[in-house]
Amino acid sequence: MKWNKFRLKTTTEAEDIVSSMLMDLGVQGIEIEDKIPMTQAEKEQMFVDILPETGINDGIAYISFYLEEDEDKESLLEAVKNELEDMRAYVEVGEGTIEESQTEDVDWVNNWKKYFHQFYVDDILIIPSWEEVKPEDEGKMIVHIDPGTAFGTGMHETTQLCIRQLRKYVTEDTRILDVGCGSGILGMLALMFGAKYSVGTDLDPCAIDATYENMEVNGISKDKYEVMIGNIIDDKAVQDKVGYGCYDIVVANILADVLVPLTPVIVNQLKDGGIYVTSGIIEDKEETVKAAVEAAGLTVLEVHHQGEWVSVTARKETKA
């Protein structure tokens, strides 16, 4: 099936009211493109390792919507243009021009598979479900994982930095907390390295199903891990549920802007002598994160770089 795509050029000032108008006219879904910088609060909700580059805000917004090929586009476009003209009396709508194009109906669920193939993190093979393990790899540590709605395949440098640190510090007695767990890959690998138990937290409910699915396909039983949804930084109920002073390792592969408020909180979840592994830190934020770690009373043990990314590993010293 082919779709008609319409891209309306307006202003950031008007994008909300224009979006509302489109929905009122029966448009089922829209896409908004703009260069409005995220607020600090929004950054702190981004439990991912890369922020989108927005560039300098130029006040322009593009709102795209789609119609099936046989839908009455002329009537809708006429109504949209009339509404835009009426809006000019009370809001700056900008050009109000609409570009039209056609796009094929794409199998979005499966189309990305051609871009994701098996790869190694050192001697660990990470492989999607639609590929087969080669005979020469059968003796290696093998992780089966499919990209999905939750972040984390192990391909990104930030995740690989964490994997190496976990391999170094995990023991058979390790209880690990993964903040911003996404697909569950770090907790899963910690268990495969021999850890006793893994707890993951995330803001995205998709993390629960993704973690369950990835753990199951790798043969890890449900009595070895759990996943919780909520913001451990400011939600006391989540902090209580996670527990205090009970983790040998806390790992956080998230943004530096999240690590700064997270660190003085998460120190309470660590055991004395526990290890704190952080990543998702762009190079120019290294000193910021190190300062936050030290301000929380932790001792920096190691700093590692891969590409433009940094991992800082610290320890909570044992009280005298």
Q: Which residues are annotated as a binding site for S-adenosyl-L-methionine?
A: 159, 180, 202, 253
- For 239-284, the three-class secondary structure string (H helix, E strand, C coil) is HHHHCCCCEEEEEEECCHHHHHHHHHHHCCCEEEEEEEEEEEEEHH
Number of H helices and E strands in the chain, helices first, is: 10, 14
Alpha carbon separation from 91 to 17, 18, 84, 87, 96 (Å, rounded): 9, 10, 10, 6, 12
DSSP category for residue 164 = H
Q: How large is the greatest C-alpha to C-alpha distance in the chain, in angstroms?
A: 77
Cβ contact 312:250 at 8 Å: no
Token pair 């320890």: residue: 315
List, as residue ranges, the binding site: 159, 180, 202, 253
Identify residue 85 by its one-letter amino acid code. E
In 51-97, the DSSP E strands lie at: 60-68
Cβ-based neighbours of 256, under 8 Å, separated by 6 or more: 280, 281, 282, 285, 288, 289
Residue 116: exposure state from Cβ atoms within 10 A (0-12, 13-18, ≥19): middle
Distance CA 109, CA 3 (A): 17
